[in-house]
Amino acid sequence: MNEFCLEISSANKSFPGVKALDQATFQLRKASIHALLGENGAGKSTLIKIITGVHKQDSGKLIINGKEETLNNPNDATKFGISVVHQERNLIRRFSVGENLMLNNMPKTALGLIDYNEIAIQSKKWLKILDLDIDPNTLVSDLTVAKMQLCEIAKALSLKAKILLLDEPTSSLSPQESKILFSLLKKIVREEGVSIVFVSHKLEEVFNICDDVTVLRDGQNACTSEDIKNLDRQKLVRLMIGRDEQIVKSTRKNQNTKDTILALKNVKTELGHKNINLELNRSEIIGLYGLVGAGRTELMKCLIGQDKITDGEVIINGKKVTINSPKSALEKFKIGYISEDRKKEGLILIHNVLDNTSITVWSQIKKAIGFVSDGMISKKVDPYISQLEVKTPSNYQLISNLSGGNQQKISVAKWLAAGTDILIIDEPTVGIDIKTKAYLHELIIKLADDGTSIILISSDMPEMISLADKIIVMNNFQMNGIVENNHDYDSVSSKIMEYIHT
Amino acid sequence: DSSDTKVALVPGGPHPYFAAWERAGQDAVKDFGLGKADYKVPAEWDLSQQNELIESLVGKGYNAVLVFPGDAVGTNKILGELDDAGIPTAALAGCVEQPTKAKMCFGTDTGHSAYLGTKQLIDAMGGKGKIAHFTGFLVDPNTTLRIKAVEKAVAEAGGGVEIIQVIADIDAYEPADEKINAFMAAQGGEVDGIVTTAWVPAVVAAQALTNMGDKRIKMVGIDHDEVVLTAIKDGFVHGTMLQNPYGQGYIGSYAMDKIRGGCTFKADAPWKATAQTDQFIDSGTVFVDSSDVDTYVDAMRGISLEILKTFEDDFLDC
Amino acid sequence: MNKKIPNFIYTNQFGLLCLVLIFTLIFSTSTDGFTSRFNIFALSRVIAIDIMIGLAMMVVILTGGLNLALGAIGVCAAMFGGWCMEVLGIPIIPSILLMLGMGSFLGWINGIITVKTGVHSFVVTLATMSIYFGFMTMLTEAEAFRRLPELFTDFGSAKLFNKYVSPLLLVSVATCFALFYLFRFTDIGRKLIAAGANPEAAELSGISVNRMFIYCHMLSGFLGALAAILLTTRIGAAIPSMAGQLGMDWLLPAFLAPVIGGTLLSGGKLSVFGTMLGAVLVTLLTNGLYLLDVGEFWIRFFLGIILLLAVLLDRTREYFTLKSVIVS
Amino acid sequence: MAALFKKDWFGLLIVVIVSGLAIAVLKPAFLSPFNLYVLMVSISYMLIIALAQMIIIAIGQMNLSVGAIGGLVAISFSGLMEVQQVSVPVAVLIGLIIGMLCGFLNGYITVRSGISAFIITLATLYIFKGINLGITEAEPFYNIPETVKNFGNAKIGNTPIPFLIIIPIIITFLMWIFMNRTETGRHMLAYGNSVQSAELIGISSSKVVITAHVISGFLAAIAGMLVVCRLQLGTPNIGDSWLLPSFAAPVIGGAILAGGKVDVIATSLGVLIVAIISQALVIFKIDPFFVQIFLGVMILLAVFVNRYREYKQEARRKIFSSE
Ligand SMILES: Nc1ncnc2c1ncn2[C@@H]1O[C@H](COP(=O)(O)OP(=O)(O)OP(=O)(O)O)[C@@H](O)[C@H]1O
Ligand SMILES: Nc1ncnc2c1ncn2[C@@H]1O[C@H](COP(=O)(O)OP(=O)(O)OP(=O)(O)O)[C@@H](O)[C@H]1O
Ligand SMILES: [Mg+2]
Ligand SMILES: [Mg+2]
């Protein structure tokens, strides 16, 4: 009688100081792909965590296959054939890929002991499905972020669930990888009748694969199970953010300064980079493009002194310099680095918003005997926090309680506060909603216009082409070429791809 | 009035050596009509804990304290403060170093006891051979005294006796077992005599000799642990240096009551002098070997009564 | 933007404060002598030293590490000070400075080794504990320094406020305020906390994490020496066994106070006043139990039970306050 | 060889072999049957103590009450036999049950309250030790049955191998299987790696934590009883000196205190290294005033050697990743 395999009606969920879900309703049709959309902090992940038994709703019903159920822990959800890829990476870093894939369901020998051969064989199968060429015995900690994400997806698939929840599965995937994933998803929906909930901030993907759409805004439904055919991009955006999308047009003012602020000449690093040459002018945005694993992040870490540059010259403002730590990069040369891995390297999760945002400015604002008070800090960083529209009940909220997107805003805000001359921005909009993404793009342009020189690392080609002045293409720890960016997507992107494959 | 006297007997920590104090205190209450004489054990073997306990006992109304000093120097401060508060104290079983406000030290001259024990050992070895010395924590000043006393006894024996190894810091059973057995393995063939000057090493060494079934190596232990006494009976240990904990508690309580009653120590009392203090009264140190190991309790009681008999006349001005 | 600082009554410190008050009430009504002048004075002195020891450990726990050598450092500093005052005849104030310097120096060694080798501070300080203590025993031959200047030792027995309070407590409380200031109101303090919470993120944010960790170890040594100074004035002498074999008698109070006080063992979160209250609570319990006459051999048992009840009670409080936040 | 080099315990093995050889060359007595016997005896219970701590480190917690559990079991075991005249097997059984109960208590309260195990086991350390002292009033039990004493003393045939080490060897083997080849063991490590992830994955915290603590209590109980066999008396002090060595061996063996990384073999080698060092101090007749200094320096050296291997490995990985 019921076409829904999963329903949530009028669910409420509060966290200290936050109402994450407010009478939220959600219905998943059998054998469909359902997009769950909303701004950062709208409550998407919370909804997913309720469906998977991680959180329990304060009120409201959870109906699975027509029956009201209570889930007390993730295992209960597994029993109902629900499997999930959470927004956060949940692999055991010191275990092998294979063992991670099979962790809930380990093959055993006759003696009841774990059969590692069997693990390798079975997991290999699931890795293959995603076109992943990883040895199942590789340690997860040796994988790149993208590969980890793919492994998690493989793991969720391996449970052969009837309901598959994917919370931003593509946030750190390249277009090619996403494409493989999507055709796979379509296939299991079609052939095995699996129902999928898909969370993403990339609207193209949503239009590409989804059948229905539910949009949350501040924990409430902005729309419920709308057929995607009735929507277009503009409508969807309006549902999500309550107004029209602003198209960022790169209207750079003074990008023609020829005032070289940073130059790398024939740089070699201990991580294996060779022949790196780069010139960054004042107010210029240089893009570093490359497939995941090209060594862009690593190059920048060498530049700021985290790892060593072994040969070649680093010239800042015409002077040859040696940067031996991020501290001197920041304090002496005013270079900042916004990390791509916000949880591990960007933020201090157990500290609050205020402390995280101000970490780079304490030295600047201190008075006699190092005096720094919360008031002084607030005065300094509040403008940035409100400018980025960070969604938090107060400055004293712990970072770990913010939604992913808002966490990313904080890791940007702290570098804005630091007021650097050169800012290295690594994958700034991963997991960021379109509103904030647009805002971040404007911000990057404005920063450059105001005199900051920017090195932008992004695997998001449209982003790269709309922002960068010139794009350096990297592959395999070397520079393959430089593309002058005329902001014409087709021609520039084909040039970039050409360089990647040389 | 004696019934006002409330004596606290405070050992350094939980340890079987002091168990006899409890009985001694009860007997003293009975025999001398004291108000109380209670055995109060610090929860841990730790100077600060002992101080805390003593302070809380005073808070509770005890007005005389007999204490085994958690530290020969460190305990002085609290004794001084008790004295200022009009509470008489004495060091029991071990001494505090002078200058001190403790009325007396009633116990064993640890250095002398080690010296006598070593002498006995050297005699048993026939005046020559190689000796090993096992002892307790180095940071206990008594340990240094003991090491020196053993050296002295050896020096007096002339060139025939030699100390081949000193092992210290073995006041816990597991490391003691490990080290002493390692020693036996490495030097067991060479060594002729063992002197132990702390409870745990004595027990463990006696056990090791018993296990090895080795009667060639002579050993002199310390204190009255059953393992040591049994090994003496069985002939694996030559003898042990006994102290008199019961007598300490019994006579100590008595003396505290007397002092609270207004007695003072005579200026010309027959004090003994030790390395630590010159207000020392020997509670009796005897060497026990297989011949008198069964009767040592009586012997000790005899000594106690002997001391008590002349205690008031010899030491007190009442 | 809402700028309210989290309400005090929702904090761990508040819970501890309640427990302290509850137990004070229980003990003062059910035992005789708890509120006596002598007992309160004695308590204040014990608490003073335990606070200092707790603080000394707290600043290393902040880095996610441990300082097992704390007691050894304390004893070394004390013996060094005793030597300065007694043998060299250096006046009190310079001697105290030298002791603090000694403590910081030994802490610095711990920090340097930890940072340079990347070996966990547990192993490093386990080894340096042995080494420091060994050198101390070797150099002093376990001889105490007893002829310390009277002014110095009198400080330990001095009584203030109608003879209820030891000046040692004032020193400790003042130290608490100083540390509170450091961690809450200075850039360096904030950097120490950030470095402890997430070294990688802190490093990339321009904080020299290694230097911060070394500072923490030095501060620990400094506070350890300060604790040793207090203890020396209390004992009236510098003695090698004042912190037990290898200085390990300090470890229990050192961990109890900060951990009960809400300092995170994995680093990056501390509470100065929590540590203070933790030390107060534990000392109070021990003292109360001694007074309650539970049978001396059972004291540890009851102490354990009450400790357990205390933390469970605090947990319940936390649970209910969190609930009330959600509702509001 | 390359595979060996990658093992966590490889550096430690080198330390053991090199130091063993060095000592043997300088002092041939080191390899005498009696000395090997003594070495094995001291390893026997330390090994179990270290494993009792290791399994708690695996889940990212600490068990401060290992010694207290061991002590409580040791005196219960000997007390039951002396005072209640209980037969040896029954006493062993009761001892094991007490140990597991203590461990269960630790685990249960930790999981239920959500308070750090550090605090809980600190409190139970007081409780268990308190019961121990309350029962014994600090007096040892001496009347240990001959069978137990003989077990503590006997050697296997004419070899220098003590009977005492059989149980630890079996247990080490079982622990290796448990940590590497069983689902529960792997779940423990996963939990230690990241509690949050483990919970999201669906690993039950209470099962993992309680099991680990029960095993820890079980092992502490065995260690306690082995010490009784060895010392041939049940003193209330048993266990007092376990805490630091229990951590030292796993940590020297490369365990990460934050959890998720422990290795049974490396821990065993850690035990061996500590035992060899402390024996070397006796064999070389180190002056007692120097012993502590030497001990500290040796521990540092042992760890540095192991660390050096990791260093090399890291350097290699850096170069590899660029190719
Ligand atoms: N454990 C928690 N404790 C407190 N607040 C929380 C917790 N988890 C989520 N929140 C809050 O609940 C709200 C909804 O968060 P949620 O993670 O569901 O957002 P989201 O829609 O997934 O956002 P994003 O797109 O950034 O991932 C946010 O304001 C977040 O700060
Ligand atoms: N933890 C790690 N251990 C070993 N190798 C690693 C680790 N992290 C990254 N690498 C290796 O370093 C190389 C570059 O990594 P990374 O993916 O960060 O490069 P990138 O060009 O910055 O890519 P992106 O920024 O798109 O993620 C890859 O070959 C990867 O295998
Ligand atoms: Mg989310
Ligand atoms: Mg990268």
* Class of domain C37-316 (CATH, top level): mainly alpha
CA of A172 to the centre of ligand 3 (A): 14
pLDDT at B302: 85
* Cβ of residue A339 lying under 6 Å from some atom of ligand 2: no
- Chain B residues with CB-CB distance to D137 below 8 A: 14, 19
pLDDT at D225: 95
* B211 close to D (CB below 8 A): yes
State both tokens at C257.
Answer: 């106070």
The amino acid sitting at D76 is S
* Touching subunits for chain B (3+ Cβ pairs under 8 A): C, D
pLDDT digits (tens, 9 = 90+) for A325-334: 999 999 899 9
* B55 close to C (CB below 8 A): yes
pLDDT at C1: 39
* Cβ of residue A405 lying under 6 Å from some atom of ligand 1: yes
pLDDT at D322: 35
Question: Which residues of chain B have a pLDDT value below 70?
Answer: none
pLDDT digits (tens, 9 = 90+) for C74-131: 999 999 999 999 999 899 999 999 999 999 999 999 999 999 888 888 889 989 999 9
Nearest CA to ligand 1 atom 29: A41
Residue C328's closest chain A neighbor by CA?
Answer: A17
Mean pLDDT of chain D: 88
Nearest CA to ligand 2 atom 17: A293
Interface B-C: count of C-beta contacts within 8 A: 120
Do the Cβ atoms of D238 and B174 come within 8 Å?
yes
Residue A50's closest chain D neighbor by CA?
Answer: D200
- Nearest of D141, D110, D73 to residue D209 by alpha carbon: D110
Q: Which of A140, A141, A144, A297 to mutate to test the pocket of ligand 2 (most atoms within 8 A of CB)?
A: A144
Nearest CA to ligand 2 atom 4: A142
- The alpha helices in chain D, defined as continuous H runs, are 2-6, 10-26, 33-58, 66-82, 88-113, 117-136, 146-153, 166-181, 183-193, 195-201, 205-231, 243-252, 264-283, 288-321
* Cβ of residue A42 lying under 6 Å from some atom of ligand 1: yes
Cβ–Cβ under 8 Å, residues D238 and D227: yes
**Higher per-residue confidence, C237 vs D305:** C237
Dump the DSSP string for A365-397: H--GGGB--HHHHHHHHHHHHHHTT---S-TTS
- Tell the residue number behind the tokens 């993404």, with chain if given: A437
The amino acid sitting at C19 is L
- Chain A residues with CB-CB distance to C208 below 8 A: 325, 327
Which of B173, B191, B223, B236 has the most D C-beta neighbours within 10 Å, making it the best mutation to test the interface with D? Answer: B173
Residue D28's closest chain B neighbor by CA?
Answer: B186
State both tokens at A16.
Answer: 């200290």
Which of C168, C235, C286 has the most B C-beta neighbours within 10 Å, making it the best mutation to test the interface with B? Answer: C235
Q: Which of C38, C42, C235 sits opposite B74 (nearest CB)?
A: C235
d(CA D289, CA A363): 48
pLDDT at C321: 63
B 9-68 residues inside an 8 A Cβ radius of D: 14-16, 19, 41, 43
Compute the nearest-CA separation of A370 from chain D (Å). 33
pLDDT at A253: 63
pLDDT at C327: 42
Which of B55, B62, B144 has the most C C-beta neighbours within 10 Å, making it the best mutation to test the interface with C? Answer: B55
d(CA B202, CA B206): 6
Compute the nearest-CA separation of A346 from chain C (Å). 5
Cβ–Cβ under 8 Å, residues D72 and D203: no
Strands in A59-64's sheet, in edge-to-edge order, are A18-29, A4-15, A59-64, A67-68
d(CA D90, CA A330): 69
- Chain D residues with CB-CB distance to C119 below 8 A: 303-304, 307
Q: Which of A8, A13, A26, A46 to mutate to test the pocket of ligand 1 (most atoms within 8 A of CB)?
A: A46
C 154-183 residues inside an 8 A Cβ radius of A: none
Chains C, A in contact, 3 or more Cβ pairs below 8 Å: yes
* Cβ of residue A381 lying under 6 Å from some atom of ligand 2: no
Do the Cβ atoms of D186 and A114 come within 8 Å?
yes
Using 50, 70 and 90 to split pLDDT, how confident is the model at C7? low
Residue D310 DSSP SS3: helix
Which of D54, D115, D128 has the most C C-beta neighbours within 10 Å, making it the best mutation to test the interface with C? Answer: D115
Do the Cβ atoms of D199 and A54 come within 8 Å?
yes
Tell how far CA A19 is from the center of its chain. 24
φ, ψ of residue B163 to 5 degrees: the values are: -90, 115
Q: Please name which ligand lies nearest the alpha carbon of A296.
A: 2
Compute the nearest-CA separation of C311 from chain D (Å). 8
Cβ–Cβ under 8 Å, residues B111 and B128: no
Long-range contacts of range A486-489, CB-CB < 8 Å, 24 or more positions apart?
A487/A250, A489/A461, A489/A462, A489/A465
Q: Is the pLDDT reported for residue C314 higher than 80?
A: no
* Cβ of residue A469 lying under 6 Å from some atom of ligand 2: no
- Which range, B58-62, D102-106, D112-116, D248-252, is most confident? D102-106
| Ion ligand 3: residues, CB < 5 A | A 45, 87, 404
State both tokens at C218.
Answer: 């030095």
Q: State the distance between the two ends of chain D, measured CA to CA, in whole angstroms.
A: 22
Write down the ipTM of this complex: 0.87
Domain parsing of chain C, residue ranges: 37-316
**Higher per-residue confidence, C264 vs D63:** D63
Q: Once rounded to an integer, what is the mean pLDDT over residues C294-301?
A: 82
* Touching subunits for chain D (3+ Cβ pairs under 8 A): A, B, C
Q: What is the mean pLDDT of each run of 10 residues along chain A (502 residues)?
A: 81 85 92 91 91 91 89 88 88 91 87 90 88 88 83 87 90 82 90 91 90 91 90 87 70 69 90 88 90 83 90 90 91 90 86 91 86 88 86 85 83 88 90 83 87 90 88 88 85 86 74
Compute the nearest-CA separation of A389 from chain C (Å). 10
Nearest CA to ligand 1 atom 22: A45
pLDDT digits (tens, 9 = 90+) for B72-84: 888 888 898 898 8
Q: What distance separates the 2 farthest-apart alpha carbons in chain B?
A: 62
Chains B, D in contact, 3 or more Cβ pairs below 8 Å: yes
Q: Which of A86, A94, A108 sits opposite D200 (nearest CB)?
A: A86
* Cβ of residue A93 lying under 6 Å from some atom of ligand 2: no
* Class of domain D33-322 (CATH, top level): mainly alpha
Nearest CA to ligand 1 atom 19: A41
- Chain B residues with CB-CB distance to C129 below 8 A: none
d(CA A233, CA A236): 5
Q: Which of B16, B174, B183 sits opposite D282 (nearest CB)?
A: B183
Burial B64-101 (b: 16+ CB within 10 A, else e): bbbbbbbbbbbbbbbbbbbbeeebbbbbbbbbbbeebb
Do the Cβ atoms of B182 and D278 come within 8 Å?
yes
* Cβ of residue A18 lying under 6 Å from some atom of ligand 1: yes
pLDDT at B81: 87
CA of A18 to the centre of ligand 1 (A): 9
Do the Cβ atoms of D303 and C127 come within 8 Å?
yes
pLDDT digits (tens, 9 = 90+) for D68-99: 999 999 999 999 998 888 899 999 999 999 99
- Chain C residues with CB-CB distance to B9 below 8 A: none
> pTM of the entire structure?
0.89
Q: Which atom of ligand 2 is nearest to the CA of A141?
A: 1
Domain parsing of chain D, residue ranges: 33-322
